[in-house]
Amino acid sequence: MCAFVLVTHAAAAAKKELQHPASTRQTTRVQITPTPAARLKRQLAIVRKEQSVVRFFRDHSPLLRSPEHGAAARAELRRSTRRLAAAQKNVADLRRVLRAQTSRRLEALPPKAAICDAFDRFCGQALQVAWCESRLQTTAQNGQYLGLFQMGAYARELYGHGSTAHDQAVAAHRYFVASGRDWSPWSCKPVREAS
């Protein structure tokens, strides 16, 4: 019966091809390459599926020893284990790619965007402090004080620093949080808006 269905479908496809040869058909195919995020989502779905298959066989181990179904069950378990390992490797690789993309994107952020990314709801206050301290210049220096937020040597040692606006904003945010979110470490203070 299955062979009949396959032959019937093949005959129908051949008849259609004769009626509409490829040279007269207007088909435009656009090849869309999935993004790393979309590929990661697909690989994670494969991981979940294969994990459930492996778990099923581990929970039903008598099936693996069954004289009637054991060979097929063991073969399926081996296939699922291989597919799971391959999908897990792909997930790790894609996560590395996404981390690298995110890192490049963050490194390229201009000072205002980097500060808002790091400080979130304190963005407005942080922009005021950074403007007062450095005029939003990552290369600003005043003695030992460096960068967007003019952090001193000791603060840079504790909370980090870097050459990019994002690195400097993240370090300043760590300092800000450690100090109780009150801007006390900085000589410049934000203008508080009346509520």
pTM of structure: 0.59
Asked whether residue 115 is assigned to any structural domain, the reply reads yes
What would the pLDDT profile of 127-180 be if each residue is shown by its tens digit?
Answer: 999 999 999 999 999 999 999 999 999 999 999 999 999 999 999 999 999 999
Amino acid at site 165: A
- Residue 120 domain-assigned? yes
Whether residues 90 and 125 fall in one domain: no
Q: How does pLDDT run across 28-81, given as a tens digit for each residue?
A: 778 788 999 999 999 999 999 999 999 999 999 999 999 999 999 999 999 999
Residues 116, 99 share a domain = no
Q: Cα(181)–Cα(144) distance, rounded to whole angstroms?
A: 23
115 contacts 165 by C-beta, under 8 angstroms: yes
Tell whether 25 is covered by a domain: no
Dist. CA 179–CA 171, nearest whole Å: 12
Range of the domain at 72: 36-108
pLDDT for res 33:
87
Asked whether residue 9 carries a pLDDT value surpassing 60, the answer given is no
Whether 189 is covered by a domain: the verdict is no
Tally of structural domains, the chain: 2
Decide if 184 is inside a domain: no
User: Confidence class of residue 10 from pLDDT cuts 50, 70 and 90?
Assistant: very low
